[in-house]
A and B are shown apart, each in its own frame.
Chain A
Amino acid sequence: MSQPVVICRGVKKQFGNGGGAVQALRGIDVEINQGELFMLVGPSGCGKTTLISVIAGIINQTEGECRVLGESVSGMSSGDKAKFRARNLGFVFQAFNLLPALTAAENVALPLFILGESKKAAVTKAYDLLAQVGLKDRGKSLPAELSGGQQQRVAIARALIHEPKIIVCDEPTSAIDHVTGANVLEMMRTLSKDHGTTLIIVTHDNRIFPYADRMGEMDDGHIMAIHTPETTQGRHYA
């Protein structure tokens, strides 16, 4: 087994205070290894999004520690967190993935723009990535001119372009049909294996479960069990 890139110990997250407080995470202990495809599943409201937000340094946990690539992100200033995300993390969101006014190539190049690379170099590299997701000749298209599956492939190219160590995805297939979803997962898996990238994917979509190396089953702010492919076949969590 490779070494863990994410180590969470006793992570708790509470939203709000007093009577209206919500305990979204109630003590998470988990390790995610380099290069693996780790899925997070569980019923709505169980804390999946909250957990990947903590791991990605987008929100701070209330208690416990989460070390990502050896660093404790919650202790960083907001500027350092932004830099850390820009350099080390890729994102695939469920919706509002792409900026509608930018072409596919420009959308893919965004992480490089954020890192301050020149437009020309960034766009050239974006075309490489678009070729890898099979959209070589759609670089000049606007997102609205692409199908849902094509948009999600653009998003995957974007998540990979700056060669991040970790890619987090929240419901990457919920806006597309299942066949396309399976193709998208297949592609993510192949590309991340090629690049040695760790994938953390939140999903309800049981048809993509087989692509997981390991799967964390969450309920009510806890990780109840960690499954491996042998135990996940045919199970339904959503």
Chain B
Amino acid sequence: MIGVAIKMLMGDTGKYVGMIVGITFAALIMTQQPAILIGLLSRTYSLISDASYPDLWVMDPKVQAVDDVKPLQDTKLLRVRGIEGIRYAVPLYKGMLRARTPDGNFQNCSVIGLDDATLIGGPGNMVAGKLEDLRRADAVIIDVDGANKYLAQKLPDGTRVPLKVGDTLEINDKRAVLVGIARTTPTFGSLPLIYTTYKRTLAFAPQERLKLSFILAGLKPGVEAAPVIASINQYTGLTAYTAEQFKKVSVQYTIDNSGIVVSFGIVVMLGFIVGAATSGQVFYNFTQDNIKQFAALKAMGTSNGMLVKMVLAQAALVGISGWGIGIGLVSLLGLSIGPNGDFPFMMPWQVVALSGSGIVLIVIFAALLSIRKVVTLEPGVVFK
């Protein structure tokens, strides 16, 4: 009888396609929007992702996110080094400076100053040059987008000449030489990213009194993070997070301060409601239009239980097809833009599960209306 139900459904091609389109639409919105949201949120901690080396990020207790820098006194570095269980502690500068491109334009840049000796916190994925080249005079490393777009030389006819290793530019009127290009995780604000050494940032930004934004610390082998974090807090008054904790804190900060989740949530809800309304409506119409068939089946002795199963099978088929197509389309979209494209996109299994549950709800909602109709149906109508 399930086979009969499926044939009934497929026999009504118009409605069948209509329902699948409705579900596909809902699945598309409910998958793609959260994927973009997660992609965007992950950009709030790009710096933490790219600097995978340190175990702990130490900062002023008032810092709420990696983009929310509250400078520290240099003496704090020594005090963190003195904590039991710490193997190393190095400085990191994070700030914004103005760079002047070869064609004379100014562009705000995110500047990261790495510990001169270790270069800890530097980018892991170099496209050109080597991280060690930062030790050369006036050396800087720029991210791919910065080199190709934001800081590239614009010719009068509009074409851009990407920066390449060996090119020079000015940062705060100081000469800087490009020694490498790094592929980095795109950031939330899409500013070009310049890596240099900590000492050189003193020269680039002499007017800033305090340069120490974060202290990156490593743990001795076999030492747990939690007690060390507690000691850092106790002896220096600073806050420390593991990289994972700091990512969460940073994402939470964006969520709390931007309303981004609410706006995406509204779109997802709209997708859900529109999908539920349209498919529910069409599905109910389908049942309604075929009510004589259901009545005939009922008169011929089909039990209510079997009729319910038939309706559920019809709804499930529509749901699975629509959801599958929706997820497929979103995945194609994801593949076509790649993991680090300009377009933020991340589709962990939770997103797939979320849209799946949404579709299950829609299907149940649609089926319930029809089930009620079929169960209360008087088989006597077959004689009318």
Contacts and interface: CB of A to CB of B under 8 A. Distances in A.
A110 B4 contact: yes
B4 A52 contact: no
B58 to A, nearest CB: 69
A56 B305 CA distance: 20
Interface in B290-308: 292-293, 295-306
Contacts of B210: none
Nearest to B384: A49
Interface in A83-114: 83-87, 89, 91, 93-94, 96-97, 99-102, 106, 110-111, 113-114
A93 B382 contact: yes
B301 A87 contact: yes
B382 A96 contact: yes
Contact of B301 (A52, A86, A102, A119): A86
Contacts of B83: none
Contacts of B383: 49, 52-53, 93-94, 170
Given A78-B304, A79-B303, A113 B1 contact: yes
A175 B12 CA distance: 24
A82 B11 contact: no
A59 interface: yes
A111 B293 contact: no
A176 interface: no
Contacts of B84: none
Contacts of A85: 299-301
B8 interface: yes
Contact of B302 (A53, A93, A114): A114
Interface centre among B3, B8, B380, B383, by most chain A C-beta atoms within 10 angstroms, is B383
Nearest to B13: A101
A86 B296 CA distance: 12
A113 B4 contact: yes
B132 interface: no
B4 A82 contact: no
Interface string A51-72: 0110010110000000000000
A189 to B, nearest CB: 22
B7 interface: yes
Nearest to A83: B301
Contacts of A58: 299, 378-380
B378 to A, nearest CB: 7
A113 B310 CA distance: 13
A89 to B, nearest CB: 7
B384 to A, nearest CB: 8
A97 B4 contact: no
Nearest to A89: B301
A210 to B, nearest CB: 24
B262 interface: no
Nearest to B3: A119
Given A79-B304, A86-B302, A114 B297 contact: yes
Contacts of A89: 300-301
Interface of A: 49, 52-53, 56, 58-59, 78-79, 82-87, 89, 91, 93-94, 96-97, 99-102, 106, 110-111, 113-115, 119, 170
6 contacts: A85-B299, A99-B4, A100-B293, A111-B300, A114-B1, A170-B383
Given A82-B301, A83-B301, A101-B12, 6 more contacts: A87-B301, A96-B295, A99-B296, A106-B4, A111-B301, A119-B3
